[in-house]
Each structure stands twice: as structure tokens, then as C-alpha cells.
Structure 1
Amino acid sequence: MIKAWVFNLTRLVGEIVLSPFFRIHAHGLEHIPDQQGFILLVKHQRWEDIPVLGLAVSRPLYYVAKRELFENRIINWYLRSLGGVPLDRDKPLRTKQSFREIHEILQSGKGIVVFPEGTYYKDQMGPLRIGMLKFFLKRSDSPFIPVGIEYRQNGLKTDVDVRFGKPIWAKGCGSHEEFMNKVAKAIASLSGLYPLSEDSDESTGRYVSFIGGKGNNE
């Protein structure tokens, strides 16, 4: 459960720390539902992505993060107070309680953040982990919203464009692989990485990683 005072204080500190170095520009916020649960599928460029996203979206969000980050009791309390949800990325079924929690969050009309690459892939599109999203694909009718993040050096500051794409619905997308390829293309395009087209070789299975797959940056 998000604690409002922890969220508000952390957001204030984030603004103070990041504002001397970054100018954050949010685009497409109208694609985020007001009354329905949703899943943000976000490009992972660098460690600043999380606070940048938190400043781009004013409302609290719940973040799916690797289980190892929650092992320390104090860090666990802090992350949980900010909306962190622990998940075993390689063997998701080990954290069944987290899936129940995610389901309840979506049912209550709130937003979940997932970095589907699972690790940093700076200036390139990494393979997506279909294993960590199978729960959503099978059990949730919530919209998936691709989110691109692009960093551009501009003088002494870095401009950060956070772009929210149009919602993608799992139903009607065919197989899991076809759905993930569509998501990968959208994230890449929104991040300014690839102007992918439907007939491009880069739009195929290159971006899909199945259960147990690991990013090359881990």
C-alpha cells in the first residue's frame, strides 16, 4: 500500500535533485485511463528512468521490481511505501502473492509499471521478457500502454522526453509473441530508437525473450 507522505516527500526530493540536470517533457498523458486499471510498459534506458517517470506522471503508480531489492527490511518498507511490488522475474510463479496483489491493484483502477526488458539497454531495444507478462496476458483485460523514454543532451541540461503511446489490448493481437512484437515496436518508436515498419526484419522475434531469458546487460 502506498503511503501518501512517503510518496509526496520522495517526489519533492526527486524534483529538487533532478531539476538542475534534467528537463522532463511528458507527451501523450491523455492515453492513460482515468477510471480503469492499466499497465505501463516502459523502456529502460538508465537508472534515472524510475524517478523521471515518477515526475512525468503526477499520480502514484505501482512498480514491479525484482525480488532481490526487497530483501533488506528497511528498503523493503520504503519500496513498498512507494508502491513497489516484488517479483521473481525468472520464475514468476514463486511470487504468487505478488500476482494477487497486482490483480487487486488493477481491479481498483490503479496503474502498474513494468520494465519488460528487465534491465538497462541504453540506446537500443532489448529483448522483452514474455514470462513476467504472461499473468497479465492471461488474466487481465486492462490496457497496456507502451512508454518510450529518450534522453537528449541540450547544453548543461538533459532534455528527457517521456512519451505515452496509445493503449494496446492483448485480445485481438494473436499469439503472445505477436503481442510482444507489437509492444516492442511501439516502445522502440516512442523512444526514438527505431522507425520500425510492419515489414521490417527488426520487427520480428528479435525482440522477444521467453521465460528464463536474460538480458545481455545482466
Structure 2
Amino acid sequence: MQRASGHKINLGLYRITKAAARMFLALFFEIHAEGRENLPQRGSFILLPKHQRWEDIPLLGLAVSRPLYYVAKIELFRSPLSSWFVSSLGGIPLDRQRPLATRKSIRTMVDLLRRGEGLVIFPEGTYYRNRMGSGHVGLIRLTACQVRVPLIPVGIRYSREGLRRRVDIRFGHTIPWESSDRPEVFLASAMQGIRALTGL
């Protein structure tokens, strides 16, 4: 994997953590993934998933074969140990209240996309269980519009099935770029796709 602005996933730790997460989360969740054929095998892309709960991130990581970088709330980076661990697994800190205060993180995201990595951005910004929150266009404007990479909406739905929860993760079709469209247009299309894929 190529280095991007000094931010690089620790593949050894990533594989160990993914294997441990697979065993642990299997006790509580049964994953059903659809639409994996819509994910690029190589090259950069941005996943725009529904955000239901904190488990979305590890469950999404289990559903995708490629290592993913993802935007994480800055609170997870307060302590040195937590910062090292989350960063090693692909986390990129972002101050949700003041995104421009974390300009370095935005530059890192753009550089990662230019180097062919996959990035996860939750457009709602925080959890909205079983309902849709408003999408935030800022990161789309600051990242995807700079590089013009594929944007892929993702639906995530939890339902009770016996002792475990069933998790349906559905990857939608790429939202096509048109030179005349604005970031708000892409976000609106993405949010419609997320709603439909989640079944809300």
C-alpha cells in the first residue's frame, strides 16, 4: 500500500483486528451483504453509508475485502493510545463542528483518494437509528469534488432475527459525475440512494 500524507494503515494490526472483530461480532450479528459487484476492485472510491450505530464501521469493514480509510470523530483521538490505534486502522480525525479546523485531515483524504484508496464518509455525520438525518455537503465538496472519484451509497439496516441481529449492508450503484452538477446535487442523489437501500 502506498503512503499517503504519512497516513498508512498498519496491515498487520488491521488483519488481526478484522479477524478478532469477525469472531466477536458474529456472536451478535449476522451480516448479509448485497451489491459487492458495485465496488471497484482497484482505484479510489468513496462509500457513503447510512449511520445507524457505532457497529456500522467494523461491520462495513467485514463486508468489504479492501482495507478502508474512514472519517472518525475527533474525540477518538484525544489520548495517544486511542489515536494510534484508530489511525492504524485507517481512522482520520475530523472536528464535526469545525471541519476546517482539521484541514490536515482533509488534505489527507484528498491525497488518499488520489493514490487510489477507498474512503468511508458518513454524510449524516452522526447516528440516526431507523430514520434519515440531513446530509452534510462539506466533505463532499472538499474531497470528492477535488478528485472526482466514484461515490457509492450504502444502506445499512438492522433487524432482530433470533438471538442475533441481522445486518443488511447493500452497496448501490455509482452516482455518475456530470460537470454541470453541484456537490448539493450529488449529495441529494446519495441521500435518496441511502434511504432506498436502507428501506426507510
TM-score over 0.5 for the pair? yes
Alignment-derived partner of residue 64 in structure 1: 71
Question: How many residues were matched structurally?
Answer: 193
Q: Which of 77, 82, 86 is the aligned partner of 2:93?
A: 86
Alignment-derived partner of residue 55 in structure 1: 62
Please identify, of 152-161 and 133-142, the stretch whose mean Cα deviation from structure 2 is larger: 133-142
Alignment-derived partner of residue 98 in structure 1: 105
1:23-172 alignment, distance < 5 Å: 23-172=30-179
**For the Cα contact (< 8 Å) 1:142–1:169, is it kept in 2?**
no
Provide the C-alpha distance between the structure 2 equivalents of 1:59 and 1:93, rounded to a whole number of angstroms: 29
Aligned-residue offset at 1:173? 6.7
Please list the CA deviations of residues 114-138 of structure 1 after superposition, one character each: whole Å capped at 9, or x if unmatched.
1110111000110011123220243
* TM-aligned CA distance change 1:92 to 1:114, over 3 Å: same
Please identify, of 31-40 and 72-81, the stretch whose mean Cα deviation from structure 2 is larger: 31-40
> 2:95 is matched by which residue type in structure 1?
D
> 1:183 is matched by which residue type in structure 2?
A
Provide the C-alpha distance between the structure 2 equivalents of 1:170 and 1:97, rounded to a whole number of angstroms: 26
Provide the C-alpha distance between the structure 2 equivalents of 1:106 and 1:60, rounded to a whole number of angstroms: 13
Aligned-residue offset at 1:91? 2.3
Please list the CA deviations of residues 131-156 of structure 1 after superposition, one character each: whole Å capped at 9, or x if unmatched.
23220243121011000001121111
Please identify, of 85-94 and 116-125, the stretch whose mean Cα deviation from structure 2 is larger: 85-94
Alignment-derived partner of residue 203 in structure 1: none
TM-score, length of structure 2 as denominator length: 0.91
Q: Which of 8, 11, 15 is the aligned partner of 1:4?
A: 11
* TM-aligned CA distance change 1:60 to 1:119, over 3 Å: same
Please list the CA deviations of residues 20-79 of structure 1 after superposition, one character each: whole Å capped at 9, or x if unmatched.
221101111111112220000010011111111011112210011122221211000000
Runs of 4+ in 1 over 3 A off after TM superposition: none
Provide the C-alpha distance between the structure 2 equivalents of 1:171 and 1:161, rounded to a whole number of angstroms: 30
> 1:120 is matched by which residue type in structure 2?
Y
Alignment-derived partner of residue 3 in structure 2: none
Q: What fraction of aligned residue pairs are identical, expressed as a percent?
A: 47
Q: Give 5+ residue unaligned stretches, structure 1.
A: 194-218
Alignment-derived partner of residue 207 in structure 1: none
Provide the C-alpha distance between the structure 1 equivalents of 2:54 and 2:83, rounded to a whole number of angstroms: 19
Q: Give 5+ residue unaligned stretches, structure 2.
A: 1-7
